[in-house]
Each structure stands twice: as C-alpha cells, then as structure tokens.
Amino acid sequence: MPTCRGARQPLSALYRRGPCLAAASALLAEGSAGPKRLLDMVRTAFVDWPDDRPFLDADTPQRLAELESGP
C-alpha cells in the first residue's frame, strides 16, 4: 500500500483476494467494514511514495483543470 506524507492510500493499493476476502467477510459479519479496518486484519506492506500527485482529488472541473495545468 502506498503511503504519502504519512497518509495511507488504500484506493491505490494492491490486495490479495483470498486473505482480504476472508477478512472483509469477517468484518461485514461484525457489522464493521472499511479499508482501514481491513488493513488491521491482513499483513500489509507499506511503500513510501514521495510524489502526492497520483493521490490528489479532482472533484470539480475547475480542480481538474488546475491539476492538468501543472504545479
């Protein structure tokens, strides 16, 4: 799982189906689920990613234009 400036990036991670499916099923049975909870239940390797650009949000057309125009 990439981390950037101390923040985990679960939407950009690679997951092994078997262990994660078993852990997610257990979490759902408890009524509690989510990427952060899942990480507590499976072995996870964290990779420091110094460039935050892949993780920036482009929630509006204006923000997307800002990101496309560069730093």
The pLDDT tens digits of the residues spanning 30-41 come to 987 777 888 889
Mean pLDDT of the chain: 90
Phi, psi of 56 (to 5 degrees): -75, 145
Q: Look up the pTM and report it.
A: 0.70
Q: Tens digits of per-residue pLDDT, 6-26?
A: 999 988 999 999 999 999 999
Would you state the pLDDT for residue 36?
81
Place of tokens 């099923």: 25
Q: What is the enclosing helix (H) or strand (E) of 7?
A: strand 7-8
The pLDDT of residue 62 is 94
